[in-house]
Copies of this chain bind each other. A is one copy, B any other.
Amino acid sequence: MDTRERLIASTRELLWERGYVGTSPKAIQERSGAGQGSMYHHFRGKPDLALAAISRSAEELRGRAEAEFSGPGTTVERISAYLRRERDALKGCPVGRLTQDPDVMADPDLRRPIEETFAWLTDRLAGLLAEGRANGELDTGLNPASTATALVAVLQGGYVLARAADSVDVYALAMDGALGLLTAHVR
């Protein structure tokens, strides 16, 4: 990995662990092994580097989700696989955690990848639910848009509860609850 990539990788880790305000150029330099001058040669400053890091994380998240969504099985099985996928629940969501960072949300450039990721995710899930409803797998009474939003929310909230309880089991419990509720709509 070249210096530029190491800088991005280290920034992604630090943003995940400590958020934007909690991440200093100095910490990024130390973790990446790059010097001061090196960092400012490759990036114009902290926001520029953060943009590269956030975009990369958002891209990766979508890629992994898409793999699950377009995998084998019924729509409910694919949604279940996505929700139950092994996650580092105590670390939280590398994209979702940034919504709590006022300096990120105040910068349209930094905000965009986050907004787009959740819009895409909710939309993709709504599509799967609509597909399941259309092919008779799911109840006709189920609303794809609101249900999809609730499912993404339960995922993000599961991270919050797991961190609060310091237990990955709480994340799994939240997914059990959500899927238990959804299953009642399976014909």
Interface residues of A (CB under 8 A from B): 17-19, 21-22, 92, 96-97, 99-103, 105, 114-115, 117-119, 122, 139, 141-143, 145-158, 160-161, 163-166, 170, 173-178, 180-182, 184-185
| A92 to B122 CA separation, bound complex (whole angstroms) | 19
Query: Of the candidates B21, B150, B153, which one forms a contact with A160 in the assembled complex, judged by CB atoms under 8 Å apart?
Result: B153
Output the least CB separation between A181 and chain B (Å).
4
| A156 to B158 CA separation, bound complex (whole angstroms) | 8
With A157-B157, A177-B146, A180-B142 given, is the CB distance from A165 to B115 under 8 Å?
yes
| A102 to B16 CA separation, bound complex (whole angstroms) | 10
List, in ascending order, chain B residues with CB within 8 A of A158's CB.
153, 157
List, in ascending order, chain B residues with CB within 8 A of A142's CB.
180
Given A96-B160, A152-B161, 8 more A-B residue pairs with CB atoms under 8 Å apart are: A21-B22, A22-B102, A115-B166, A118-B165, A146-B177, A146-B180, A152-B157, A156-B160
| A92 to B101 CA separation, bound complex (whole angstroms) | 11
